[in-house]
Amino acid sequence: MPLAPFRSEPTLDFAVPSNRQSFEKALATVRDRLGRDYPLVIGGERVETPERIESYNPAHPEQVIGRHACGRPEDVERAVGAGWKAFPGWSRTPIEERAQLLLRAAQVVRQRRSELAALMVYEVGKAWDEADGEVAEVVDLMEWYARQALELKDRDRMAPWPGELTEFRYLALGVGAVISPWNFPLALATGMMTAAVVAGNCVILKPAETSSTTAAWLVEIFFELGLPPGVINLITGPGSVVGEALVDHPQIRFVAFTGSREVGVRIYERASRVHPGQLWLKRVQLEMGGKNAVVVDETADLEWAAQAITAGAFGFQGQKCSAGSRAVLVDGVYDEVVGRVVELAKRLRMGDPIDPEVTVGPVIDGSAEEKILDYLQIGRREGELLLGGGHGPGDGHLIEPTIFAGVAPDARIAQEEIFGPVLAVIRAKDAEQGLAIANGTDYGLSGSYFSRDPQRIAQAKDKFHVGNLYINRRSTGAYMGVHPFGGFNMSGTDTKAGGPDYLLFFVQGQSVAERI
């Protein structure tokens, strides 16, 4: 039966008392499940290791979220073997069956929606609506890739040739590594992993250490659904050990990575080496960081712009690759927009995101906190501190929403990804210069342009060089299946997650001609 057309999963409105109550209940249920032990998953078996890594609550660093097996290179070896053992069967499983698996998984995620979101509140410090939005994105990814997989089958129509029966078809690649970050711990692991698997591949998921529990819960869903052993393997552990062992392994066919530029570039270099016994050039996708700008010209709706700047800079504490960490304002509206953004940012409530009123929670860990505090010192030298600038109250990794104004376009805080709640405000003499400043970094992920003038909007569409361009809206909040996501330049390989071509990364085309 044909599937209904794709539709984005609606998010929950927490102003509705019943939604609020059921989320409170989920937070309590999940609290009782914190601190458990989680093994590796290799070939469908649970594998313990002598050492463990812990993930903890960044709002309360003494609270352990999960104790995870700490993978070793020999575990990577076994997982790659388990993947190849499963591959012949899985890659020949009809694509309709593989798509059905994703649709069933989407159904389970819908049922466990509040629990999964609650876990992310504890493990990575997401505010309620951010966590719920991420679970909705997971459903979208599964529903979208299921449909895309079925369409892959229909892309095979080639021109006829006399005397030949011709065919063009897509084959799965083999066994690949999926290396995911902590900031969208459920959605990014899901996106890369399900796209690979629905296309017929087997994967080894290596999640970020700080969000290992969310990844373990995700993998559990697929096991409960009866996925054949070895199709999805989970190796938790340090990136420098198991991540690297995966990337270097000669039997790894592809690497799908989302994370920092530093690690992405390292993976790119290492994956290009051909090791003895390796039969292919590894295929690599890398989705990395951003230093995204929101440009506001003098024709813009300034209230919209100020709201979008505030939400884009401080949502999830600025820890989104698409965060609008630069506001580029033309002379005529500079003072008004800055003033309004400061006013709006002052109203943000900082604290433990278990509280529904909190919009700015903790940053992910102690080293992120230190790095951001260093940038706050740099910012004091490079701009005028208008708001924040320090540590938040308590023991959690809280950083105040911070605004520096009068920042030069080439200042470090205007060029480097800080990945925290820090906004650099830059003055431009006009719209043209504003766009040049916006394009003047190594990155090219997302960007916003605010204007009411159709010619200016056309100019922005022509010149603003980013993978995700938004006109008159914030730089964050891409919907899968609606806004295919991925960046230019040092933001990555632009594979466009949630887009019409994403699955092509995970397959190879074969042309077959039979003489008749």
Catalytic residue among 123, 287, 369, 400: 287
- Alpha helix positions (H), 347-428: 366-382, 412-415
* Nearest Cα residue to 492 out of 263, 222, 333, 159: 263
Q: Is 259 in the site for ligand NAD (CB under 6 A)?
A: yes
Q: Does 321 bind ligand NAD (CB under 6 A)?
A: yes
End-to-end, the C-alpha distance of the chain in Å comes to: 33
- DSSP per position, 370-392: HHHHHHHHHHHHHSEEEE--SB-
Helix (H, G, I), strand (E, B) or coil at 196: helix
* Nearest CB to ligand NAD, comparing residues 59 and 267: 267
Choose the catalytic residue: 9, 143, 202, 321.
321
Q: Give yes or no for residue 288 binding ligand NAD (CB under 6 A).
A: yes
Q: Find the part of the chain contacting ligand NAD (CB under 6 A) among 40-48, 164-172, 193-201, 288-296.
A: 288-296
Q: Is 254 in the site for ligand NAD (CB under 6 A)?
A: no
User: What secondary structure letter does DSSP report for 241?
Assistant: I
425 near ligand NAD, rule: CB under 6 A: no
Number of chain positions touching ligand NAD (CB under 6 A): 33
Query: Cβ(42)–Cβ(79) under 8 Å?
Result: yes
Residue 477 makes contact with ligand NAD by CB under 6 A: no
One residue of 131, 267, 418, 422 binding ligand NAD per CB under 6 A: 267
Interface with ligand NAD, residue 134, by CB under 6 A: no
Q: Does 420 bind ligand NAD (CB under 6 A)?
A: no
Residue spans of alpha helices (H) in 165-209: 187-198
Question: For residue 41, what are the CA distances in angstroms to 52, 54, 233?
Answer: 14, 17, 5
Alpha carbon 349 to chain centroid, angstroms: 24
Q: Which of 75, 244, 352, 369 binds ligand NAD (CB under 6 A)?
A: 244
For 84, 259, 274, 403, 460, the CA distances from 423, given in Å and listed in that order, are 47, 21, 42, 5, 22
Task: Map the footprint of ligand NAD across residues 174-203, applying CB under 6 A.
Answer: 179-184, 188
Please name the amino acid found at residue 138: V
Judged by CB, which is closer to ligand NAD: 26, or 438? 438
Whether 287 is a known active-site residue: answer: yes
The pair of three-digit structure tokens given for residue 242, joined into one six-digit string: 């198991």
Q: How far is the CB of 243 from ligand NAD (least distance, A)?
A: 2
Q: Is 69 in the site for ligand NAD (CB under 6 A)?
A: no
- 263 part of the interface to ligand NAD, by CB under 6 A: yes
Beta strands in 266-380, from DSSP E residues, in sequence order: 283-287, 293-296, 326-330
> Least CB distance from residue 427 to ligand NAD, whole Å?
26
- Under 8 Å between Cβ of 219 and 205: yes
Is position 212 an interface residue for ligand NAD (rule: CB under 6 A)?
A: no
- Using CB under 6 A, pick the residue from 82, 417, 470, 503 that binds ligand NAD: 417
Give the alpha-carbon dihedral of 394, 316, 118, 356, to 10 degrees: 70
Stretch that binds ligand NAD, among 39-47, 87-95, 205-213, 294-302 (CB under 6 A): 205-213
- To 10 degrees, the CA torsion angle through 86, 92, 93, 99? 100
Q: Which is nearer to ligand NAD, 240 or 272 (CB)?
A: 240
Binders of ligand NAD among residues 431 to 450 (CB under 6 A) are: 445
The residues that touch ligand NAD, with contacts defined as CB under 6 A, are 179-184, 188, 206-209, 239-240, 243-244, 247, 258-260, 263, 266-267, 287-290, 321, 417, 419, 445, 487, 491-492
List residues with catalytic annotation.
287, 321
